[in-house]
A and B are shown apart, each in its own frame.
Chain A
Amino acid sequence: MQDSLSALVERAKSELPNITSRPDFESLKATLVGPKGELTGLMKQMGTVSKEERPAMGKLINETKNALQGLLDATLSGFEAAELAAQLGPAIDPTLPSPDSIAGTRHPLTLVREELNAILKKVGFTVVEGPEVETEYYCFDALNTPATHPARDPQDTFYFPTDAKFSNIDKKVENEKYLLRTHTSSVQIRTMLKGEPPIRIVSPGRVYRRDTVDATHSANFHQMEGLYVDKNVTVKDLKALLDYILKSLLGSDTKVRFRPHYFGYTEPSFEVDLSAKHLSKVNKEWVEIMGCGMVDPAVFDDIGYDSSVWSGYAFGMGIERIAMMMYGIDDIRYFYQNDLRFLRQFG
C-alpha cells in the first residue's frame, strides 16, 4: 500500500505537466483524488491494515493527499495565469498615437466672454440676455438716439420690412420697425423696464452692423455691455470698475485712462484707453478698448426712473476686439472661419 501511494504521487507528477485543458485536468483530478479515484480506493483499504500499522499508514495517506493537492493546485494556478495572460492583447507601443478624438475646444470668443462674466460676477453683476431682433424703440429711441441720427440710417443698420412679424419680440411703439440690434444696450432697456433699481447687469451677445467685412470689421460681432443703476453712482465708481475689469483681464500692470467722448445715452461719456505693453500686438502707447459713461438722465426719464433719485453707469466693449488684443489675433475673420488650427490654440 505504501508503494501504491508513492506510485500515485509519481503518476501525478508525471501526468500533470502534460495536461493543457481544464476538462483534462478535471478528469485526471477525478482519477487521482475524486470519490472514485485511486486515493479514495486506497483509503478504503485502510480496513485491511493492522492496528499497529494504522497510525503510520494514516499519516502516510495524509501526506500523499497533501502532496497530490499541492501538485493539483500548482497546475491549476498555472492554468489561471495562462488564462489571464491570454486576455491581454499584444504588447503595447507607448509611442503609438491614440486613435481617439482630440478633446473638444471652446471658441475663443466664448472664453473671453465667460472670463469677463466671471470677473464681473465677482463684483455683483449677473448676465442678462435679450433678443437679437429688436425694435427701434429698444435699440435707439430709449437710448436717446433721435430718429435722424446717422446710426439709425439703413446704410448702417439692418432693418426688416414693415410687415415683418416676430411673435416673441414685443414692440413698444405701434408701427415701429424691427431691426437687428446694433448693440446690446437694448437689453439694458428691457431689463430696466422689467425691473427696478438697483440693477447690476452685464449683457453679452451678438450684434449686427452693415459693414464691409475686412480684417477688423464683420457683419456680425459680439458685444458685452454693463449697466449699474443705484443711488449715488459716480464717475469715480465707473473708473474704479473699469480699472478692475481691465486689470483682472490683462494684468495688474495695465494702465487705464478715460478720454471724454460722446454717446447719446451717457453724459458724461468716455472712451477708455489702455496701456499694456506686455501684450504682443499692443505696440502703441494707448489703445482704445471700450466706451462708457454715466447714464444720461434723459434715458432714465424716458423709461420712468426718477433721474433725481437714480444714477448709474454703463459700459460696452467688443468681445472680438478684446480677444484680438488678449491673444494677439490680427484678423477678425479667423473667429468666423473656425479653422481647427485656430480653435485648438485657445480652447
Chain B
Amino acid sequence: MKISRNWLQDYVDLTGLTDEQISEAITFLGFEVEGIESTGAPQLENVVVGEILTRDQHPNADRLSICSVGVGEANGDTKRIVCGAQNYKVGDRVPVALIGAVLPGDFKIKPSKIRGEASEGMMCSGKELQIGEDHSGLMLLADRPEVGTPINAALPAGDIVFDIEITPNRPDCQSHLGVARELAAWFRRELRYPSTAPAAAAAARPDLFKDLRVDHDEDCPLYTASVISGVKVGPSPDWMQQRLSAVGVRPINNLVDIGNYVMLEYGQPMHAFDANKLGGSSIIVRRATEGETLVTLDEKERKLTTDMLVIADAEKPVVVAGIMGGENSGVDASTTDLVLEVAVFRRFSIRATSRALGLSSDSSYRFERGIDAHAVPEATSRAIALILETAGGTLCGSTQRIGSDVSWEREVAVIPAWVRSRLGFEIVDADQRSALEALDLLIVREEEGDAGVEWTVRIPSWRSDLDRPIDLVEEILRVHGTAKIPATTVTGPGLLAKDDPIAEFNRRVGAYLIGQNFNECVTYSLRSSAEISTWSGNAAVQPLALDNPFVEDQSHLRSSMVSGLLDTLKLNQSRGNAVSRLFETGRVFIPQKDGVVECAAVGFVIATDGAPAWKERESSDFYTTKRLVETLADNAGVDLARQPHLADDSPASSGWQDAQHTLQGDMRYGWTARFGMLDLAGLKSRGIEGKVLAGIFAILPERLKGGGKRKRFQPFSLQPAALRDVALIVPQSATAGEVLKDLSKFARDVTPKSFALEDVNLFDVYEGKGLPEGAKSLAFSLRFRAADRTLKDAEVNQTFNALLEKISAKEGYEIRQ
C-alpha cells in the first residue's frame, strides 16, 4: 500500500524526522518498505520564475517565437529565448531554465542558435521539469510567483510516498490512519483523528430513497445508506487530488475522490449511487438470481451466479457487493442527488465472488482482509462532511442502517514476568506498559498473583488479530524494538538422534557416483503425461496426474529421473559441452495396485559417445550400469544379486531398449531397479546424439535403514589358496547366473568340511569356433582354502574331479577339455 508522508502528517506530527527514519520505523514495526518515491519537482539549479515580456514571430520558422523573458535582476534581467510552445501569452509566468541549468535526463542548457536565431535559455513544460506528464505546452505558473524566484521555492513542496507491504494479519494498516497509529506508537507521538462530528440533517427525502433491505445479513452484517441532495459534481480540491495522485489513485470527480480518500484514510470502502438511477428508489442487498448480469465500471459484462452477493435496486443488480459498482448506477457529471453506501461485507463471501469473477478492487482487497466494523460511523461522518464541504448539498434525514453495531469487547490477561520468560531478556514492567499503551492497548486492571503482577489489557476493535497473551508479547517486542534483542551464544540439548536414512543414503550414493566421475544434477520433477507414458506405461499416467497443473508439460509427478537427466544431456549437447555422466538423487513416484508410492531414488545416465580424445579409453556398456546399480543398491542395504527373481509383471517401458536392459526387484519387496541401454529410436526423436546408458534405483523410504549394525570382525585364513579352473560348455540359452548357481552348488556339495570353497569367479565367455552349434563356453576359476594348513594337491584334485563328474552328469552341461 502507498502511504503519503504529507497525508500521515494530518494524524501524527512527523516534524523533525527524516524520510529514512520514518522508513526504518515502518520496517521495524513489521511492514516491509518496498520503495520510497518522492513526488513534486526535483531539486533544480538555475531554473527560475520568468515573465514573458514580448513575443515575436521567428523569421525562419512558422511555429517558433522569439521572446524576451524577464528573469530577475540577479539572473541578468532579460533573456532572449526562442520557443516552440503555443499555449502562452505575454505576461504569463513560466519556469525558465537559464544557461548552465541541467534538467532531468542530464539535459544541459547552453547558449544556442535555433534556425539562425540566438537563444539564451529555455522555457519549460511540466514534463521537462519532471513535475507531471504535461508536455502540451509551457507550465504556466498561475499563482504568479515573483520573477527570479528559484523554481523549487515557487512550486508546491513534493511529497514522499512509502510503498509498504501490509501483512495479512494487519488489515487495520490498509489505511493512512492505521499506519499513523503505528508511527505514533513508535515515536511516542500523539495520534490525531480527523474531526467526525455528524453533520446536521434536513428532512428525509423518500422521493430520492425510501427502501433499504438486507436479505443476507450473514454476508452483510451492517449496511448504512445516507442521502445527500443537491450536490454539484466537479473536480475535487487540489490538496485531495495531490494526495490521491501521490498514492497512485487517479482523481475523477469530487464524489468519487472522496470515496477513495476516506477509504485510504480509514480503510473503510464506500460507494456512491446516483439516487436518480436507483429503480424504485430502493436498495436491496441480495444474492444474484440465475442469469443476471452486470456491466461493471471497467466496462466488462459480468455473469453473476446465485451465490454472489449484489446490491440491487427494485429491478436489477447495480453493484457486485463490496467489489465493484455497475455502470448503470454510479455518479457522473450530471448527478445531483446521491445515496452513500458504507457497509460491512463478510470476508469469505467477497473473496469467493472476487475469485469467481476474476475481479478485484481496492474495496474487495480490504473486505477480504477484514475491516473494523466500528469505524463505519466515523468513516460515514467523515465522508459526508467532505461531500458537503466540497460538493455542497444537504444531508437528508439520518443515515439508514440495517444490522446492529457489532458489539466489541475483548480483554487479554498478560503477566509481564511471563513476557520476559518468552523473550529471554529483560524488558522492565514500565517499558512493557509504555509499549502497550503507545498502541492504545490499555491496561484496565492490575492484579498481584503468584507469578507477579498480571495485567488485563483491553484490545481495541481495530486489533482483532490480538487474542492471546503471546500476541501481546509480539506487540511489546515490536514497539520495544527487535534491534534490541541481545546477542548470545547458541545452547541446545545433545539429543540421541541420527540423520534420516534418506539423507544418509543420498550422501553415500552421491559420494560414490561423484567418485565415478558423475556430475550431480537437479531437474524438474513435474513432467508431461507423454513422458510418464514413455517411462512407465499408459496405466501410470492417470495416478500421477495433478489436479491443477500450471503448464501443460508439467502436469504429472515423475516416475523416473531419467527423463530430466536426458533434458540435461540434450541441453549440454546442444551447447557444445562434452557431457557424459549425470546423476540425480530425489523422489520418484511409482504407481502400484493400491496406490502410488513415493520413493527415495537415484538415477543416472551415461552418454557413451563422449568427446573425441587423442587416446581411446574403454567405453561404458550394460555391465557398467550393472556394477553402478549394484553398488547403489548395496548402499541401501539391498543385495541385487541375492534377490529372488520376480515375475516381471511391471509395465513395459518404451524408454528402454529391448533386450538391452533389465528390471530387477519389485515394489512389493520395497525396491526396484532398472538399468541398461535406453531406446535408440526414442533418443533420436528426442534429439539426443549417440547411445545412452542409464540406471535407476528406487526404494521405499520406510525400507531404508539408518546407520546399520556395527560391523563385527570376521577372522580369515592366512593359509595359501588352491586354484582350479574349469570351462563348461552349456546351451546358448543358459544364463551365466543359472550356470554359476549350479556350479557353486555342485562345488559346495563336493567340498569336504576340512576346507572351504572360497570363491567361484566367471572369467571367460566364448562362443564360436570349436564349439557345437547353439552352445557357449563359460570358464570359471575356483578358489579353495583351509583355515589351518596348506592344502595338498591330492585332496584338492580329488574334490575337483568329483566336481567335474557332477557337472558332466548334469544334462546339457559338458566339460570343455
Q: Is A38 an interface residue (CB 8 A)?
A: no
- A338's partner among B28, B517, B521 (CB-CB below 8 A) is B521
Q: Which of B169, B494, B551, B594 sits near A165, CB closer than 8 Å?
A: B594
Inter-subunit contact A267/B521 (CB<8 Å):
no
CA distance A318 to B421 in the complex (A): 30
Candidates B347, B510, B517, B578; contact of A106 at CB < 8 Å: B510
**Of B168, B482, B617, the contact of A99 (CB 8 Å cutoff):** B617
B596 near A167: Cβ-Cβ < 8 Å: yes
Is A330 part of the contact surface with B, judged by Cβ < 8 Å? no
What is the predominant secondary structure among interface residues of chain A facing chain B? mixed
Near B by CB (< 8 A), chain A positions 195-239 give 198-201, 204, 206, 208, 210-212, 219-220, 228, 230, 232, 234-237, 239
* Contact partners of A153 in chain B: CB under 8 A: 355
Given contacts A104-B520, A107-B521, 14 further A-B contacts (CB under 8 A): A97-B614, A99-B615, A114-B507, A129-B600, A158-B549, A164-B543, A164-B545, A208-B526, A237-B490, A258-B482, A296-B470, A335-B522, A338-B582, A347-B514
Query: Are B587 and A206 closer than 8 Å at their CB atoms?
Result: yes
Please give, as numbers and ranges, the residues of chain A lying within 8 Å of B596 by CB-CB distance. 133, 164-167
Is B520 touching A347 in the complex (CB atoms < 8 A)? yes
CB within 8 Å of B: which A133-156 residues: 133, 148, 150, 153-154
Chain A residues within 8 Å of B613, by CB? 97, 99
Residues A267 and B474 in contact, CB atoms below 8 Å apart: yes
In the complex, the chain B residue whose C-beta lies closest to that of A148 is B348
Chain A 59-90 interface 0/1 with B at a Cβ cutoff of 8 Å (1 = within): 00000000000000000000000000000000
Say whether B515 faces chain A, with CB atoms less than 8 Å apart: yes
B471 and A127 within 8 A (CB): no
Neighbouring A residues of B516 by C-beta, 8 Å? 104
| Chain A residue contacts of B521, Cβ below 8 A | 107, 338, 343
- A123-B617 contact in complex given A103-B514, A133-B557, A235-B485, C-beta closer than 8 Å: no
- Residue of A110, A129, A267 touching B470 (CB-CB under 8 A): A267
The 8 closest A-B pairs by CB, nearest first: A234-B424, A236-B424, A165-B595, A167-B595, A260-B30, A268-B474, A104-B514, A262-B167
CB pair A105–B524 under 8 Å, yes or no, is: no
Contact of A166 among B526, B568, B595 (CB under 8 A): B595
Q: How far is the CB of A233 from chain B (nearest CB, A)?
A: 8
Cα–Cα distance between A210 and B546 once the two chains are bound (Å): 12
Which stretch of B395-403, B496-504, B727-735 is in the interface?
B496-504
Query: Bound state CA distance, A81 and B713, in angstroms?
Result: 45
- B500 x A128 contact (CB < 8 A): yes
Report whether B554 and A219 are in contact in the complex, using a CB–CB cutoff of 8 Å.
Answer: yes
Is A160's beta carbon under 8 Å from chain B?
yes
Taking a contact as CB atoms closer than 8 A, the residue among B32, B490, B594, B700 that contacts A244 in the complex is: B490
- With beta carbons under 8 angstroms apart, the residue of A107, A150, A241, A336 that contacts B524 is A336
Q: Are B520 and A219 in contact (CB under 8 A)?
A: no
Q: A315 within 8 Å of B by Cβ?
A: no
Q: Are A262 and B493 in contact (CB under 8 A)?
A: no
Chain A residues with CB under 8 Å of B491's CB are 237, 240
Q: Is the CB of A257 within 8 A of B483?
A: yes
Complex contacts, A103 vs chain B, CB 8 Å: 514, 517
B523 with A338: CB separation less than 8 A: yes
Instruction: Flag if B597 contacts A168 (CB, 8 Å).
Output: yes
Interface string of B167-182 (1 = CB under 8 A from A): 1111000000000000
Closest to B572 in A: A340
Distance in angstroms between the alpha carbons of A124 and B598 in the assembled complex = 29
Min Cβ gap A205→B in Å is 9
Q: Which of B477-497 contact A (CB under 8 A)?
A: 477-478, 482-483, 485-495, 497
Partner of B169, one of A200, A259, A262: A262
B616 in contact with A267 (CB, 8 Å)? no
